[in-house]
Amino acid sequence: MELVNWVPAGVDTGLPSASRLYDYLLGGGHNFAADRALGEEFLKAQPNARAIARLNRSFLRRAVLFLIDRGVRQFLDLGSGIPTVGNVHEVARRAAPDSRVVYVDYEDVAVAHCRLMLEGDPLATIVQEDLTESAAVLAAARRTGLLDLAEPVGLLAVGVLHFLPPEGDPAAVLGAYRAALAPGSHLALSHFTADLQPTETAGIVEVMKRSANPVFPRTRAEIAALFAGFDVVDPGVVPPPLWRPERIADDDPAKAGLFAGIGRKA
């Protein structure tokens, strides 16, 4: 069992988690031997995994800036994961210094690191809640004083809903949040799919069965349906490299592994 001074008490460092795997794929240092071992298996199944993680992170950045441009100044980041370069509050504040961010995660390591990183920050915090419990999440977020549901909210579900099984009903989960949000709120979402690389995605599914967070890819049609009640903005639900790129890149959309999009509540 790996022992490090930043590990919260009671964390099972031998059971890999999705947030620490993502940290490893992005080149971070907040992961354990078990996460790195699973990461290598992940890379065997999907050799493009590091690029996919980078593309997902890049979409998150562009999404936040898009919402800032449309007047959003408060964000609720579901399943925010391990803190790493380019966090939502960092991106948002470069464009709008008064932006407020409430991160949401239930994984102990992610929460512990986020609390350390945000200590003394009056405009950003994290609440330790299960994103599927929308009432508890929203109540906790309101208690921070940083989320005003009478104003538009940027709801971020980037790279997280594919961890919900079909019986977890991600559409219903999002519907509960949507009902609580003010008009002018936006949903930014990215999600694993098997539509683009079915063989590699099937391998990912098998690898993640050995972690705390199995993966449930969905089709583009199923992912698009998650935007019910939101008006999807151009260019629609597309692979991340095609969602309003800032420059022409050599990333192959057919190998992006994800679909992404943003919708607005009228």
Q: Are 8 and 108 in contact (CB under 8 A)?
A: yes
Residue with tokens 């080149």: 27
Mean pLDDT of the chain: 93
pLDDT confidence of residue 2? 47
What digits encode the pLDDT tens for the residues 209-245?
999 899 999 999 999 999 999 999 999 999 999 999 9
pTM of the model: 0.93
Pairing type for strands 258-264 and 100-105 reads unpaired
Averaged over 156-180, what is the pLDDT? Answer: 98
What percent of the chain shows pLDDT beyond 70? Answer: 96
Mean pLDDT of 151-161: 98
Dump pLDDT digits (tens) for 94-152: 999 999 999 999 988 889 888 888 999 999 999 999 999 999 999 999 999 999 999 99
- pLDDT (tens digit, 9 = 90+) per residue, 6-51? 566 666 778 898 988 998 999 988 888 999 999 999 999 999 999 9
Q: Cis peptide leading into 235, omega within 30 of 0?
A: yes
Catalogue all structural domains in the chain, each as residue range(s) with its CATH number.
51-196+214-264 (3.40.50.150)
Q: What is the pLDDT of residue 46?
A: 97
Q: How confident is the model at residue 172 (pLDDT cuts 50, 70, 90)?
A: very high
Check if the beta carbon of residue 103 is closer than 8 Å to that of residue 114. yes
Distances from the Cα of 142 to the Cαs of 85, 173, 245, in angstroms?
A: 26, 18, 34
DSSP strand pairing (100-105 vs 124-128): parallel
**What are the backbone angles phi and psi of residue 264, rounded to the nearest 5°?**
-115, 135
pLDDT, residue 171, reads 97
Give Cα separations from 63 to 98, 153, 202, 228 (angstroms). Answer: 17, 13, 28, 19
Asked if residue 190 lies in contact with residue 259, where contact means CB atoms within 8 angstroms, the answer is: yes
User: What is the pLDDT at residue 129?
Assistant: 97
